[in-house]
Amino acid sequence: MWWVWCESVRCLSVNQLEVLISREQIASRVSEIGKQITSDSAGEPVIFVGVLKGAAVFLSDLVRQVKLDATFDFIGVASYGNPVQQGNIWDSTGEVRLTKDVDRSLRDKNVILVEDILDTGLTLTFIKRLLLGHRPNSFRVAVLLDKPSRRKLAIQADYVGFTIPDKFVVGYGLDYAEQYRNLPDICVVPDV
């Protein structure tokens, strides 16, 4: 059995995690989104900007499903404070800061921001404001997962992989205290 030590003093084996979205479902949906982006952006070069670290896996699969002149870059953000010490592990403080900026200007580019999950909307709102400051030609957002029931700010993605209930999920890039990002399926962590 494969055990993982989490910083919040919990040991969870992967066998304790219930699969919410299988690797086959993910692959099929990512392919559909890739086709949609290919058709929506036909004839235009695009730049995918992934949000570290959670979106890295989604971005790497998505860009290979897009038949366009495409490049990619990454941005890093963090919430102030330690979310693990708050009531819920996924409750961020709401104060977001930049830890890594894009390497090149996005001026006049067709930007597709790639995020793992849209939850309260605080992170995406911060990033959107920041990247619009580059004055791109166009700006769209692709998220693998959307948890609309927890939204605090009115923001939507242009491409959504799956809409999910208010559960804490891991795998396919998403973490719990930095663990489980390498799981091929998206799984639910029992109440934390």
Q: Which of 34, 50, 54, 121 binds Mg ion (CB under 5 A)?
A: 54
Could you write out the DSSP letters of every residue in 100-162?
E--SS--TT-EEEEEEEEESSSHHHHHHHHHHHTT--SEEEEEEEEE-GGG-SS----SEEEE
168 binds, among ligand IMP, Mg ion, none (CB under 5 to 8 A by kind): ligand IMP
What character string, x for contact with ligand IMP (CB under 6 A) and - otherwise, covers 72-101?
------------------x-x---------
Tell me if 146 contacts ligand IMP by CB under 6 A. Answer: no
Given 174, 183, 186, 187, the residue binding ligand IMP (CB under 6 A): 174
DSSP state of 53: T
Sheet with 169-170, side-by-side order of all strands: 18-21, 186-188, 169-170
CB of 155 to ligand IMP, least distance (A): 8
The yes-or-no answer on residue 119 being catalytic is: yes
Task: Identify the residue whose tokens are 């929506």.
Answer: 40
Which residues of this chain interact with Mg ion, rule CB under 5 A? 54, 116
